[in-house]
Each structure stands twice: as structure tokens, then as C-alpha cells.
Structure 1
């Protein structure tokens, strides 16, 4: 029996209505871009349905690929999603996290331009943070790529678990460059609790997150999700 292809878009989940709308718009755009592919929403936390429920509903009649709509591969990818996939019926596979990827860097640069980045501004990249060393390193990789893209230094701070905190990175940057504005670049997928924390971290300006509730998702991010699906589907076939 031929099983139908399915992409399970697994986001973190949020209680923010704006964040929910922004992520839903991304998933809808992925669905529209791949009309022959079943695209299902699922959530790691906060919202429903969870990934296990979606995989159970798809059952053995589908070949699901779970694509984490997460910017780095931390605990949620290595533990939560890996466990749910291991316990699911059939043979679902887990795709890679969205980052690091130069398309994310391009959107970060766009958000900085929208925020009015000036030539003498200093930039702090605000990442969610993780207890996973690899996830933290992924965020630092994005910081280095953004610095290369902008042609200026980019400090990296974290909103939880890792150091320095965004507030510490902002304070250090301001201490060494007292006449410059400090612009916080929000390396977060969508509006919500962590973006609110980034706004409250002491920067002079904070960019919007990668996805906005009041605008269509960047086409490059839609393609990034589809590419993560394609990579994982190929690994299954190999």
C-alpha cells in the first residue's frame, strides 16, 4: 500500500494571539505552496494538538515528517519530539530545526532595516536560549553570520538558560559604546512571551520577530520549511 506524504509542522506553541496567528500563517503558506502534501499543525507545548496526537491520527496510512518550527535543535527536538516520534505508529521521521540558515539571517537583516538601523548602531542578537550546548552554539553561528551580513559586530544574548543574558549583553555593549544606540535583533520566530522579554531587555530599539502577525510570512521561510521536509524525506528513502 502506498502511504501518503505528510508534513507535521511542530511549533513551540504560545498563548499570544499574535504569535498564534503568525505561526498559523506560516503553516498555511507552506500548505498553499505544496498542494499535494498533507500539512498538519502540531505543538510541543501550550497549544493543542500535540505531536503525538497528530501522528496517531495520521496512523500507518501516511509517511509523516515532523519539521520542528524551532530555530535551533535543543531539548524540544532531541528529547520531546524524538520521544513522541519513537512512540508513534508507522515510521515517522524527524527533520532538522530551521536554524542555522542564511535565510533566517536575511530576515533578521530585513527586520533591522525596518527598525531603522543606523550606521553607528550596535547590535545585540536576542535568542531564546537553551541548556543544550549545541543549540547555544547554533545561535552564536547565526550571530556571526549576521555580523558578516551587516559588516559590523553582533553580540549574542539569551533570554533563558544560557549566558550572557540579553540584558547583560545590552549593558556591556552600551558600556563600551556609550554614544551609540543599542539595537536588539529579535531572533525569535513569532510574537509572544520571549519577544516581550527581548523588548524589556534594555535596548534602545527592538526589532520585530521573524514572523509578524500583520504581514505574510517571508517566502524564504516558507521554502526553508519545505526544504527541511525534503531533506528528511530523502533521508528516509536512502
Structure 2
């Protein structure tokens, strides 16, 4: 019997976020219909990761693979998920839990964001187009560098006036600053690419700021239920199974 795949996302008060995550996991199920795929969240949405792992055990499974639906490795991946997994294993000592890597970096994420941007109307040959690639922002610099690396890849591969990574919170530059840099580089039209998996407060903040400082910008949707990302989720699951990794247990004392 295959170990259930427990996909865990951030969670949000915005119901569109959970609906988008469930849509992505429906695509995962369509690719692997025999696999037990379960949805979990870290905060603000239900069910919680610990509750889902409890249900995996109560349903008679001896193991599970947690796949973080996170675009980069920051606090959620290094603290929140290991803590929830360790607490679930304390409650269910016979349950073996392996935790996969986060989704990024991976070309399939870049491909999903690229397709959303093209669908919004961005023309790779438009020399007067400036593109803001907007992400959440993190206090963990490598997570921000990942977004900047994607922006640089797009800049090199297009005729655009420029591509600048910008962040909704916790990192610089913000969207207005990125737009000013693009104007200085010769941009006359603007587009906003989305380095977000699902809608929510931070993506909405990005769109609002873009509308405030530009005229009729092209706005890409979040990556969402993309087939390439579904394949990436499954790749992370299979890699965790193959590596046979288990998260070290955390003591109650920390």
C-alpha cells in the first residue's frame, strides 16, 4: 500500500486560497488516481497538518509523506512543519512520517508563473514592457534570491525593458520601487508576474499597489492548479520515499 501523500499549504482566511490548493491536488489525483492524497494547512484553514496525520494513522496507515506546498525554504519549512510532524508522531508513535523538500527551486514553478504571465497578455518581444515578478517576501534571504533568480532568467530570455523581483512584505524592493526601476530602464507598459501559489492577502496587496502606481498593468494570476506543479508535487513525494528520510523528532523541551 502506498504511503498517503499529505500536501500541506500555508492556509489563509481567503477562501479562494484553500479552493485553489484543493484544485491543485485534484490535478495530482488525476495523474495518480491510485494514490491517497490528503490536504492540510499550517494556519487559518482546516484541516490542520497534525489532524490529518492523526487521521492517516487512525485509518490504519503506518506511514505518510508530507509534501510542503511552499515555494521556498523558510520558517514554515524549517520550524512549523517539523514541529507539527513531531507532535503527531508523539501522539502516534507507530506512524512513520517522511517530509519531502519544498517545491522550489524547480523549473516547473518558473514554467507555471511564465504561462500565467503570457496568458495575461505579456509579449516576450515587447521592448517597452517592464515586468515585476512579485513574491511574498521572507526574512530568509535565499527564499527572496530564488524569486530574483527567476526574474533575471526572464530578463535574459526576453526583449523586455527589464524584469525586477518585488515583494509584498519582509523584503525589498516593494512593487512601487520596482516599477520606478523599470521606468528608469525605459519601460512604458507594465506587467506583474505572480510568484504565489494561491490567492490571498499578500497577492491582493501586490495587485493593489501595482494598480496604484501604473496605468492598466497586465496582472498574472497565481500559479494555482497547474499540471506542471502537480507533477512537481508527485516528484517531491517520490523523492522522499526513495530517500527514506524521516523528520527527526523534536522534544517537548525544544
TM-score by length of 2: 0.83
Does residue 210 (structure 1) correspond to residue 220 (structure 2)? The answer is: no
Q: Against the structure 1 CA distance between its residues 62 and 147, is the aligned structure 2 distance closer, same or farther, given a 3 Å change threshold?
A: farther
Does residue 72 (structure 1) correspond to residue 81 (structure 2)? The answer is: no
Q: Against the structure 1 CA distance between its residues 228 and 19, is the aligned structure 2 distance closer, same or farther, given a 3 Å change threshold?
A: same
Secondary structure of 1:201's aligned partner: helix
Q: Against the structure 1 CA distance between its residues 193 and 233, is the aligned structure 2 distance closer, same or farther, given a 3 Å change threshold?
A: same
Q: 5+ residue gaps in structure 1? A: 212-216
Q: What is the CA RMSD across the aligned residues, in angstroms?
A: 2.0
Q: CA deviation at 1:173?
A: 1.7
Partner of 1:91: 96
Q: 5+ residue gaps in structure 2? A: 90-94, 247-254
Q: CA deviation at 1:148?
A: 4.0
Q: CA deviation at 1:196?
A: 0.7
Q: Against the structure 1 CA distance between its residues 150 and 15, is the aligned structure 2 distance closer, same or farther, given a 3 Å change threshold?
A: farther
Q: Against the structure 1 CA distance between its residues 53 and 111, is the aligned structure 2 distance closer, same or farther, given a 3 Å change threshold?
A: same
* In structure 1, C-alpha distance between the alignment counterparts of 2:163 and 2:101, rounded to whole Å: 25
Q: Return the index of the structure with the highest Cα Rg.
A: 2
TM-score by length of 1: 0.88
Q: What is the aligned counterpart of 2:179 among 162, 165, 170?
A: 170
Q: What is the aligned counterpart of 1:10 among 4, 8, 11?
A: 8
* In structure 1, C-alpha distance between the alignment counterparts of 2:156 and 2:82, rounded to whole Å: 34
1:95-110 equivalences under 5 Å are 95-110=100-115
* In structure 2, C-alpha distance between the alignment counterparts of 1:65 and 1:148, rounded to whole Å: 37
Contact 1:9–1:67 (CA under 8 A) maintained in structure 2? yes
1:1-238 equivalences under 5 Å are 4-59=2-57, 61-89=61-89, 90-118=95-123, 119=126, 120-150=128-158, 152=160, 153-177=162-186, 180-202=188-210, 203=214, 204-211=217-224, 217-236=225-244
